[in-house]
Amino acid sequence: MIEKLFAGVVVLVCAGLLLRMVLGPQRQHQWDRFWQRQLVRVQSTGRWLKRQWQLLRSSRGARQAAEDAIQRARRGKPEVDREGNVIRPRSFRRDDSKKPPLH
């Protein structure tokens, strides 16, 4: 099936090139400009689709990051031991005593 599709595309390209050869110089120039405009249109559409896809993916990530931040805020502050500017989670303690571990 795919071979037939490729063969059809090749036949169309060859027919277009043959038609271009038959045209005069001015018509060839018009033909070339037409296909250049079509190529630019396809390229700009591709760039637009790529931007839309990236925007969709980045907004998903931003939405997930916001949801994670909201969940962390709802859970409240974790229990920590503070010694000056050193903060250690209580889960780092070796035993369940209320005192922080000594060094």
Query: Which pLDDT belongs to residue 77?
Result: 77
pLDDT band at 97 (very low <50, low <70, confident <90, very high): low
Could you tell me the two tokens for 51? 């931007």
Residue 73 has pLDDT above 90, yes or no: no
Residue 76 has pLDDT above 80, yes or no: no
Please provide the distance, in angstroms rounded to a whole number, between the alpha carbons at the two ends of the chain: 74
Helix count (H) and strand count (E) of the chain? 2, 2
Report pTM. Answer: 0.51
Residue 19 has pLDDT above 80, yes or no: yes
Q: What is the DSSP string of 20-47?
A: HHHS-HHHHHHHHHHHHHHHHHHHHHHH
